Amino acid sequence: MELILWRHADAEDGAPDLERQLTPKGRAEAGRVARWLLARLPGEFEVLASPAARAQQTAEFLRKKTRIENALAPGASPAAIVMAAGWPDARASVVVVGHQPDLGRTLAYLVARRAADWRLQKGALWWLESADTVLVKAVMSPDLLED
């Protein structure tokens, strides 16, 4: 199984938190990363997103039906994220669009097998593959990509 953990792109400040929208910068970031992903993802993949508007808007750039998962809301635990994604047994590749520090903690849990606060930049992703161990296939952030 391949699992892509993608932090939502730049969003407006303010509350209520779940209604915050992507900024113009965030839309540009999400578009760049989505184009990079779409050029590399297999034909079959699933997209899961937090119920937060900014996560759903980021996911929309993949032009695929997105499953909204309440378990991915801000504050999600690594266990909840892993369970929602079906790791490591899902048949298709799964893209999870979520939040920091949740995704960073999930990465530490999967890659280093310990509790830690790893940081993902807004709009960045980590691409993992399950094998005998967890393989890191790619780490990408919007600032590494051109429009």
Give the domains, in start order, of the chain with CATH numbers. 2-144 (3.40.50.1240)
What average pLDDT is seen over the chain? 96
121 vs 133 pLDDT, higher one: 121
Residue 4's DSSP bridge partners are 95, 127
For residue 131, pLDDT over 90 is answered with no
Q: What is the pLDDT of residue 34?
A: 98
Q: What is the pTM of this model?
A: 0.96
Which pLDDT band holds residue 132 (cuts at 50, 70, 90)? confident
pLDDT at 15: 76
Residue 139 CA, chain-centre distance (Å), reads 11
Closest CA to 11 of 65, 42, 54, 53: 54
> How high is the pLDDT of residue 59?
98
CA angle 48, 35, 24 (to 5 degrees): 80
**Residue 147 — very low, low, confident or very high, per pLDDT cuts 50/70/90?**
confident
Each residue of 79-130: pLDDT tens digit? Answer: 999 999 999 998 889 999 999 999 999 999 999 999 999 999 999 999 999 9
Q: Please give the pLDDT value at position 96.
A: 98
